[in-house]
Amino acid sequence: MAVPASVEERRAALEALRREAESCRRCDLWRDATQLVFGEGPVDAPAMLVGEQPGDVEDRTGRPFVGPAGRVLDRALAEVGLERERLYITNAVKHFKFSSRGRRRIHQKPDVGEIEACRVWLLREIEIVDPPVVAALGATALRALTGRVTAVTRLRGRFLSWEGRELFVTVHPSSILRIEDEAAQERAYAAFRADLVKLAARLRNEAPGVTPPAQGRLFG
């Protein structure tokens, strides 16, 4: 597949890909999910952020990262001077996997087969948007991108050479929300924000309009 040249061609290609993905039956997650949740953002974004899968709110609204984890991400992005609207945001798996407990829908981690089944859509998204930097948020995203199981803790905060572009690794913001101890949760958020400071610094070279992060936080 040739990469579309103009912004208009890339938008058209991405919309065609979304429509194609809506009829995907490569795994069974489509059966219980409300809808496909495709990526969103500018087709010429300097970076693509890749999460695991839609959550309950995302499944209902059809947009990525608009639930509790999305609010954590939005807060951190704003604090380091990155505008969400300038980034392309998507997930490794496009349908919500869950188990029902009464009226609640509880997140279930995608298995290897589901990650691999959806990987074709993710790689084609990357091919069309063609961002200089791809950020893996968590282990599922990292597995989907690289095709290998790798410990996020070993690579987080680092830029790696991957498929002709840079791959940046950090945790998924939902991991912060799962921490019950308030002090530990604040430390985890500070570490996540510190990772995004590095991403913002790199993107200032790729996209000069990126705002410098606020000073005096996290780093003395």
pLDDT over threshold 60, residue 135: yes
97 in Cβ contact with 110 (< 8 Å): yes
Confidence band, pLDDT 50/70/90 cuts, at residue 210? low
Q: Give me the CATH code for the 8-206 domain, please.
A: 3.40.470.10
C-alpha span between 43 and 40 (Å, rounded):
9
pTM more than 0.75: yes
Domain range list for the chain: 8-206
pLDDT over threshold 60, residue 212: no
129 in Cβ contact with 63 (< 8 Å): no
Sign of the C-alpha dihedral computed for residues 186, 172, 196 and 219 taken in this order: positive
Which residue from 31, 35, 36 is spatially nearest to 18, judged by alpha carbons? 36
H or E element in which residue 129 lies: helix 112-129
C-alpha span between 219 and 69 (Å, rounded):
24
Residue 135: Cβ-neighbour burial (10 angstroms; 0-12, 13-18, 19+): buried
pLDDT over threshold 50, residue 214: no
pLDDT over threshold 70, residue 208: no
Which residue from 14, 2, 22 is spatially nearest to 118, judged by alpha carbons? 22
What is the β-pairing status of strands 165-170 and 159-162?
Answer: antiparallel
Lowest mean pLDDT among 129-138, 156-165, 176-185, 206-215: 206-215
